[in-house]
Structure 1
Amino acid sequence: MDTNSPVAEPVDERQQPARRADKQGKGPRRSDAERKSKADAPPEQDASPEESGASQDKRRNLFGSIRRHPFVTGAILLVVLLVAAGVVLWWLNARNYEWTDDAFIDARTVTVGAEIAGRITDVAVTDNQPVEAGAVLLRIDDSDYQASLKQAEAGVVAARAGITDVQAQTVAQNAKIDAAQKQVAQAEAALEFAKAEDKRNRELLAKGTATQQQAEQAASTLRQDQAALDTAMANAEAAKSQLAVLQAQGKSAEAKLQQAQATEDQARTTLTRTTIVAPVAGRATNITAAKGTYAQPGQVLMMFVPKDVWIRANFKETQLDLMRPGQPVDIAIDAYPDKTFHGRVDSVQAGSGTAFSLLPAENATGNFVKVVQRVPVKIVFDQPPDAYLGPGMSVVPTVKVR
């Protein structure tokens, strides 16, 4: 066999009739336009017999492997179905919850400061020490305030003594008024007798049975008794007017007593401010006070964190459609990754966080870019947590909204 002879190429039987027709000149005649368009058209890239055969071999191998390993194929299909079912179930369950990692522990921290001026004599707590409500936090020197209280108490005693003196004077003046009124009555009786005696003597003098001297003596006695009555009445009026003066002094003494009592109460209140106590149960922190330091009114001496804490969760406004107060919440705290706390939605703030910021957004000026706003939601614990929690600690709450 000659190795240099050309190898015959395989001929497609479907093309042989057309080739024979072309050779015999029996094929359809083509116009010049058809020949040109066919010449310009890109050649068809039919799959070669080798490629078609390779694809058929792959399909045969795939189906063959499936027939050879039916259990593996079934397991793969089962895993795919289970994964799809798991994804569907996860989505159906996840749509019932809303969560955010923009959440923190919050509390109403108390600023403990001095209300009076004085030197600090004792600091009864240390940093982060837990204390109960009413426990002593620190003391300020109270010697000056003790003296002020004693002075105020003495003023109250003096005011009460003044009231007692006025009351005694009033009693004595009432007795004087009674005596003056009796003198008036006595003078009136003497005046009536003198009038009768003067009338009788004048009648006797007219009849000639009495002397002129007797008549003049009776008239003089009448004038004296009249003067005595006028004097008694004047004394009675003076005594009554003095009673009005004493009544005014009594009111002034009562006012002085009230003023002295107010001064005493103020001094006692100021004295109590020398001892600063915890307003509620919690922890003392950020203590700046030290023994011997001179405190000024309004000076911050320490911060106080109450035990009552909650969660401030800043949800997107698009997450609030189904969120309502009372819905259960699962709380994950970054500081305690192995614990899950439970709570409930307490309230939703009436407005976004930016609306209450120092410089709220003003969208009516300049270019506007819509940004999803955050709305603070208050979440409270069902039970006081058995862990140390402080303001600012990171939390991830998950609210069940359906």
Structure 2
Amino acid sequence: MSNTSIKPAAILTLLAGLVGISLVLYAWRLPPFTSSIETTDNAYVRGAVTMMSPQVSGYVVDVPVKDYQAVEEGQVLARIDDRIFRQKQAQAEAALATQKAALDNSRQQETAAKARIASSEAAVDAADADLEQAVLQSSRQDSLIRSGVATTSAQEQAHATLDRARAAMAQAKAAVEVSRQDLQTIIVNRGSLEAAVANAEAAVELARIDLANTEIRAPRKGTLGEVGVRVGQYVATGTQMMAVVPQEVWIIANFKETQLSGMAVGQPVDIVVDALDRRVLKGKLERFSPATGSEFAVIKADNATGNFVKIAQRVGVRISVDPSDEAAARLAPGMSVVVRIDKGADPA
């Protein structure tokens, strides 16, 4: 009968092998370590950070806020010297008053032109009466001449009077036509005057907008970042002055494409926040990126080479944070988090 003994070194080697195999199986999520939970630490807090910039150029005369100050929507963050813009508005308003006066003058000219037409038409009626009388007088003299009663000079005078009456009638009708053409000219010019008034009104509105833009106001409620502008500094259009960080935040988690199978919108998410002593917040998967992160890169990788190595790409996933947890208000854009999604859970 022989005694078979296992040496301690062999036992340690066997245990080390089992541990190594177990670690490999766990790392690759192979049986018996398969799991429906996918995790990534490539995840960060995001927010709609708004960089405040002026729309007009000038010297800063007031900065009533400080670094990291909470602000309300519409609160003044900085003021630019507005003296030039006030004068431009006054100049535009004066130009508008001039154009309105010209338009009012045109309306008055229209009224006067209509009165001249009425006067000319009355002159036509008077000329018509004179012409009718002259025709009768001329006919009467012609009859008297045939009867041998009137003289030739009276007949010639009657004919001359008739000719003058006819000329006066033609002149009166021409005066009516001239008055009508004058009215039409006034009406045609009215369009250009009205356009000039509209242009002046637009100039006034632009001047008011520029004046209002000398005050940079918070577009929404939030917290300021570092205030990068100082009193007396000259700022141009587009100069970055400060950032407004709103309270609403979300998570962008970048999962490998091999992890996406089974994920669905509405699935619950656990969010581990490093900055909050690894406190776990609750969230929900909102939507997936339409492309991998490499597609949005400025410099894209060139895979058309002979030394190609396949690399699993990452796809961004947007996750909303449950606002009922008071710790959610302490999240700030840029914080790193660890995200766990249970692919086996039913979407909410």
- Tell me the TM-score normalised to structure 1 length: 0.75
Q: 1:330 corresponds to which residue?
A: 270
The 1:232/1:241 distance shift into structure 2, 3 A limit, reads same
The whole-number CA distance in structure 2 between the counterparts of 1:142 and 1:399 is: 54
Q: How many pairs are equivalent?
A: 319
Map 1:1-400 → 2, pairs under 5 A: 52=2, 54-55=3-4, 95-337=35-277, 339-383=279-323, 386=326, 387-400=329-342
Give the secondary structure class of the aligned counterpart of 2:310.
coil
Q: Distance in 1 between matches of 2:144 and 2:67?
A: 114
- Separation (CA, whole Å) in 2 of partners of 1:164 and 1:367: 81
Query: How many angstroms does 1:227 deviate by?
Result: 1.5
Superposition deviation, residue 391 in structure 1: 2.1
1:177-235 deviation digits (Å, cap 9, x = unpaired): 10001101211121122112212211221121222122112101101111111221121
C-alpha separation in 1, matches of 2:278 and 2:294 = 34
Letter of the 1:285 partner, please give it: G
Q: Distance in 1 between matches of 2:296 and 2:217?
A: 33
Moved over 3 A (4+): 91-94, 384-387
Structure 1 spans left out of the alignment, 5+ residues: 1-48, 59-86
Superposition TM-score, scaled by structure 2 size: 0.87
- The whole-number CA distance in structure 1 between the counterparts of 2:287 and 2:205 is 42
Q: Separation in 2 of the partners of 1:95 and 1:280?
A: 43
Q: Secondary structure, in 3 states, of the residue corresponding to 1:288? A: coil
Is the radius of gyration larger for structure 1 or structure 2? Answer: 1
Deviation at 1:382, TM superposition (A): 2.5
1:338 CA drift (Å) = 5.4
- SS in structure 2 opposite 1:379? strand
Shift of 1:380: 0.9
Q: Which residue is 1:401 aligned to?
A: 343
Distance of 2:134 and 2:305 partners within structure 1: 108
Distance 2:33 2:137 in 1: 126
1:242, distance to aligned residue in structure 2 (A):
1.2
Question: 2:167 corresponds to which letter in structure 1?
Answer: A
Deviations 1:66-94 (A, max 9, x none): xxxxxxxxxxxxxxxxxxxxx9xxx8897
SS of residue in 1 equivalent to 2:263: coil
Residue 231 of structure 1 aligns with an amino acid whose one-letter code is: Q
**Secondary structure in 2 matching 1:300:** coil
**Separation in 2, partners of 1:100, 1:315:** 6
**Letter in structure 2 aligned against 1:281:** K
Change in Cα spacing, 1:246 to 1:322, as seen in structure 2 (3 Å) is same
Cα deviation for residue 306 of structure 1 reads 2.1
Cα pair distance change 1:364/1:385, threshold 3 Å = farther
What runs of 5+ residues in structure 2 fail to find an aligned partner?
7-25
Aligned counterparts of 2:324 and 2:94: Cα–Cα separation in 1: 51
Native 8 Å contact 1:355 1:361 kept in 2 = no
AA in 1 matched with 2:255: F
Change over 3 Å in CA distance of 1:396–1:240 after alignment to 2: same
Render the CA deviation track for 1:38-78: whole Å, top value 9, x for unaligned: xxxxxxxxxxx6xx2x559x9xxxxxxxxxxxxxxxxxxxx
1:254 is aligned with what amino acid? E
Identity of aligned residues (%): 36
Cα 1:194/1:92, change in 2 over 3 Å? farther
2:270 alignment partner, SS class: strand
- Flag the 1:384–1:145 CA change in 2: closer, same or farther, 3 A: farther
- Name which of structure 1's ranges 382-391 and 196-205 shifts more when overlaid on structure 2: 382-391
